[in-house]
Amino acid sequence: MEDKTIEKVDFSIEELETNYYECTFDKCNFSDKPIGRVIFEKCTFKECNLSLVKTSNTSWLDVLFTDCKMTGINFSLSTVSYTHLRAHETP
C-alpha cells in the first residue's frame, strides 16, 4: 500500500497488508497485536495505540510516531532504523 491515509481502523481485529510506503495511520488501534512480516517505510503514526504490540520480522524504516501510546511495545525481533525512528510529543 502506498501513500494512503488510514483512519480509525482497529488493527487489533483487522489484518495488515505486508508493505506500507509513505502511509499515515491516524487514530488507529494496534493494541496487543502481533505484527509479523510487515514493512513500514516513511510512515507516520498519529494518535495511534501501539501498546503491548509484539513485532517479529517487521521493518520500521524512517517512521514517525506522534502522540501515540507505545507502552510495552516490543521491537526486539524486528529491524528498526534507529537513526530514522522518531517519536514526537506535542507539549
What gap in Å lies between CA 45 and CA 82, rounded to an integer? Answer: 16
Q: Report pLDDT digits (tens) over 35-88.
A: 999 999 999 999 999 999 988 889 989 999 999 999 998 877 666 654 445 555
∠ CA 49-52-55 to the nearest 5 degrees? 100
- What are 39's strand-pairing partners? 19, 59
How far is residue 41 CA from its own chain's centroid?
A: 10
What is residue 52's DSSP assignment? T
**Helix, strand, coil fractions of the chain, as percent rounded to 5:** 0, 50, 50
What residue type is assigned to position 86 of the chain?
R
pTM exceeds cut of 0.85: no
